[in-house]
Amino acid sequence: MKLNQLRDNPGARKRPITVGRGIGSGKGKTSGRGVKGQKARSGVAIKGFEGGQMPMLRRIPKRGFKNYTAKRYAEINLDDLQEAVASKKISATQPIDLAILLDAGIVRGGKDGLRVVAGRQPVKAKLTVVVTGATKGAVAAVEKAGGKIEVLPAKVNKLLKGKPGKKEQAKKADGAKK
């Protein structure tokens, strides 16, 4: 076989249909689009229109909502922290924070910070954990093992633009009454 004998398989390349070139071509006038109107024009997509019937999107029931002001914390259990220290993924000698846990691949997300939750088993390692929030049980368990939990203030939500939260407003109201 030579280069000048190479051919595509029969039917591999199909000529595009020539449209809009007169009635004799078989695809003249409306070019196979039917009659004139919105659907005959280019760039029109009537998505979701079901001919006057109630559209599927409106027939399906909607439930719930997504709270856009809610904080998104990365949560870690003390059992998982203990296991990470035991498997030497993280070091117990240096302070443990969100960046270290993200690098080690132990937690994901945590846009607004890190929360520590108490585990089922007692903590054996002496840990120093820097977090945004912690449960009372988690603080007690870490302190019992000889470590400590530093709780940092939460990141301020940019949507609230410095407006005080409900707790601060309640404190101001109590102060004004006295």
Domain architecture of the chain: domains with CATH: 74-151 (3.100.10.10)
Nearest alpha-carbon partner for 154 in 102, 111, 99, 118? 111
Say which residue the tokens 């400590």 belong to: 148
What pLDDT does 36 receive? 85
Q: Which two tokens stand for residue 150?
A: 């530093």
Statement: residue 140 has pLDDT above 70: yes
Residues in the chain: 178
Residue 15: pLDDT over 60 = yes
Model pTM above 0.75? no
86-98 pLDDT, tens per residue?
999 999 899 999 9
Averaged pLDDT, 132-153: 92
Segment 22-38 mean pLDDT: 89
Distances from the Cα of 145 to the Cα of 28, 78, 88, 124, 148, angstroms? 85, 12, 18, 6, 9
* Burial class for 66, CB neighbours closer than 10 Å (0-12, 13-18, 19+): exposed
Considering only 111-115, 125-129, 172-176, which range has the smallest mean pLDDT? 172-176
Cβ contact 96:152 at 8 Å:
no
Beta-carbon count within 10 A of 133 CB: 18
pLDDT band per the 50, 70, 90 thresholds, residue 150: very high
> Which pLDDT band holds residue 69 (cuts at 50, 70, 90)?
confident
Instruction: Supply the pLDDT for residue 152.
Output: 87
Helix axes 78-86, 136-144, angle to 10 degrees: 40
